[in-house]
Chains A and B, each alone.
Chain A
Amino acid sequence: MDGIDVLIAALRVVGVFALVLLATIINVWAERKIVADFQNRLGPMRAGPYGILQTLADAFKLMFKEAVIPRNVERLVYHAAPFLAVVPALLIAMNIPWGRPFTIGEREILLQGADLNVGLLFILACSSMAVYAVVLAGWSSGSKYPLLGGIRGTAQAISYEAAMGLALVSVVMFSATYPGAEGGTLSLAEIVERQAGTWGGIVPRWNIIPLIPAFVIFFIAAIAETNRAPFDLVEAEQELTGGYFTEYSGIRWAMFFLAEYINIFSMSALTATLFLGGWNGPTWDGVLPAWISAILPTVWLFLKTYVLVFIFFWIRATLPRFRYDQLMQLGWKRLIPGAVLWLILSTVVIGFRQFGAPWS
């Protein structure tokens, strides 16, 4: 660990940070454009070509806006809550492998903030920390609509976290079936590496193919965890005038939205990493120039991520919001039993294939 290693680590972290912020700028614009297309409107058109600078303009406007702070807020918590929303969102993005590791000289450079042995658990921990922002913002505002939004947020996060965790277990178990692997893994870099190659030379060895029920459950839970439509009861404009961030304005309000869009992006990237093979894809090493082969994995991951981001926007434009009891029923009576059933089924099948029949 010398100076250059420290520098590389710092560059990796700053790189992921910049990537996530840049993606957020594009995603906000993309969502407005896509939803506008769904609704037969034009969407933002004025700022820059096709309105692509609209997000920047909005961000500057929000920065210079007066931050109105109501008299009844609990000041300390009220000021801390927007940061509590952004930090877990960034930490999740830090843990995702954004491309194939490459070597310069003798150093191997990971395109990842950090490759943790407990990567998947770390991500679950961060996403369970994210709920504090909603709860504390709702409570500290000292007003009834934010409080209701905060309480809804807690109940929703607890319900869907369980389904999410259960769906992930089969991914970890399935990673043990990769040829030459000793046991499963929780490290995201290894999960991606174990999706390399194909079945029979045609079908890519992605986790989604054997584990499609887990993918469906995980993706639904991911939408619920990011509080996106149709699970956006936390901020339901019609009932709660915005929910937990009703009393926020200016740049603090913008930080909640920043966190939401970072979460959409990193949850899509996480789903692509876990189920769609991450950065795996044809790179034509040796045929193309080396630098193109080094960049291609990142391009594949971005393509997969943006397919999922588009699905996020598509669902938002298409489906109406759930009622609160429907939300709870879907979580506890459909997703969690479904996840448990799938867990038992996949355990039996994977165990059978790894160790043979129990009577043999």
Chain B
Amino acid sequence: MTVEVVIFVLMGLTALGGAITVVMARNPVYSGLGLLGTMLSLAVIYVSQLAHFVAAIQVIVYAGAVMTLFLFVIMMIGVDVAEDTAENLPRQRLVVGVLAAAVVGFAVYLGVSQGFDWVPAASGEPVAEATNGTVQAIGERLFSTWVLAFEATALLLTVAAAGAIALAYFRRRRAVRE
């Protein structure tokens, strides 16, 4: 057993525990904390895969910014509000159960059948460990091979931000006028 396997099992269990907390917790703040735990354990798994940059970004963006906003909203609304337990989607539990069973069944099938290659053998030259996942290595790929996808994503995010501002701003102005 390598250290990597131990870390993977521990962090995988923590991530699963966090995910279960998200859906099972009665208090929404604990759901948020469960999600935070899942995100942090994923970051640790990234580190064990030498993807330090991705791990840092995972913590800054998801755990640092997104979850803080979630918790902020939960607290602003107040957690004492009695929750409406009526389900909007009829029979959603049944559908989700069937889907989950299908996914688990597929995973079990893959595990039992011998034809599945768990970790595909690397093709071509292996990347040197020291350059693997560093900021420099990721930056080089991002701004050469994947520059179109990178720029398109940047544009998409800018449009989304501008759209969010436009929606909130114009709705408020109309409300003030009426």
Contact = CB atoms under 8 A, between A and B. Distances in A.
For chain A, what secondary structure do more than half of its interface residues adopt (helix, strand, loop), or is it mixed?
helix
Given A125-B60, A151-B75, 5 more contacts: A122-B56, A128-B59, A129-B63, A135-B68, A161-B64
Interface string A116-127: 111001101100
Nearest to A123: B56
Given A117-B52, A158-B65, A135 B75 contact: yes
Interface in A175-213: 183, 186
A166 to B, nearest CB: 13
Given A154-B72, A158-B69, A118 B53 contact: yes
A42 interface: no
A150 B75 contact: yes
A319 to B, nearest CB: 27
Interface in A114-157: 116-118, 121-122, 124-125, 128-129, 131-132, 135-136, 138-139, 147, 150-151, 154-155, 157
Interface in B34-71: 36, 52-53, 55-57, 59-60, 63-65, 68-69, 71
Contacts of A151: 72, 75-76
A124 B134 CA distance: 17
B68 A154 contact: yes
B160 interface: no
B76 A118 contact: no
B56 A128 contact: no
A155 B29 CA distance: 17
Interface of A: 74, 77, 116-118, 121-122, 124-125, 128-129, 131-132, 135-136, 138-139, 147, 150-151, 154-155, 157-158, 161, 183, 186
Contact of A183 (B69, B71, B136): B136
B166 interface: no
Contact of A128 (B52, B65, B136): B65
B60 A128 contact: yes
B49 to A, nearest CB: 14
A131 B69 CA distance: 11
Given A135-B75, A183-B136, A121 B68 contact: no
Nearest to B43: A125
B33 A77 contact: yes
Nearest to B73: A154
Contacts of B57: 121
Nearest to B133: A117
B135 interface: yes
B77 to A, nearest CB: 11
Contact of B56 (A121, A147, A154, A183): A121
Contacts of A154: 68-69, 71-72, 75
B63 A118 contact: no
A45 B26 CA distance: 52
A124 B68 contact: no
Nearest to A76: B30
A338 B119 CA distance: 48
Contact of B64 (A116, A129, A150, A186): A129
B81 to A, nearest CB: 15
Contacts of A124: 56, 60, 64
A117 B136 CA distance: 9
Nearest to B29: A139
Given A116-B52, A117-B135, A121-B60, A139 B65 contact: no
B68 A125 contact: no
A125 B72 contact: no
Contacts of A117: 52-53, 134-135
Given A135-B72, A147-B75, A128 B135 contact: no
Given A116-B52, A117-B134, A139-B29, A155 B60 contact: no
